[in-house]
Amino acid sequence: ETGVTQTPRHLVMGMTNKKSLKCEQHLGHNAMYWYKQSAKKPLELMFVYSLEERVENNSVPSRFSPECPNSSHLFLHLHTLQPEDSALYLCASSQVSTAGYGYTFGSGTRLTVV
Partner 1 sequence: RKEVEQDPGPFNVPEGATVAFNCTYSNSASQSFFWYRQDCRKEPKLLMSVYSSGNEDGRFTAQLNRASQYISLLIRDSKLSDSATYLCVVGERNNNDMRFGAGTRLTVKP
Total residues contacting partner 1 by CB under 8 A comes to 29
Strand partners, 31: 50, 94
Q: How far apart are CA 74 and CA 31, in angstroms?
A: 10
**In the stretch 33-72, what mask flags binding to partner 1 with x, by CB under 8 A?**
x------xxxx-x--x-x----xx----------------
Minimal distance in Å, beta carbon 73 to partner 1? 17
Contact 9, 110 (CB under 8 A): yes
Kind of pairing, strands 73-79 and 64-70? Answer: antiparallel
Should residue 75 be labelled a site residue for partner 1 when binding is judged by CB under 8 A? Answer: no
Should residue 8 be labelled a site residue for partner 1 when binding is judged by CB under 8 A? Answer: no
The DSSP annotation for 44-57 comes to EEEEEEETTEEEEE
Identify which of 35, 25, 23 has the alpha carbon closest to the alpha carbon of residue 67: 23
**Residue from 78, 106, 111, 113 binding partner 1 (CB under 8 A):** 106
Should residue 12 be labelled a site residue for partner 1 when binding is judged by CB under 8 A? Answer: no
Residues 83-102 that bind partner 1 (CB under 8 A): 88, 90, 94-102
Q: What is the DSSP letter of 43?
A: -
Residue numbers of the site for partner 1 (CB under 8 A)?
31, 33, 40-43, 45, 48, 50, 55-56, 88, 90, 94-108, 110
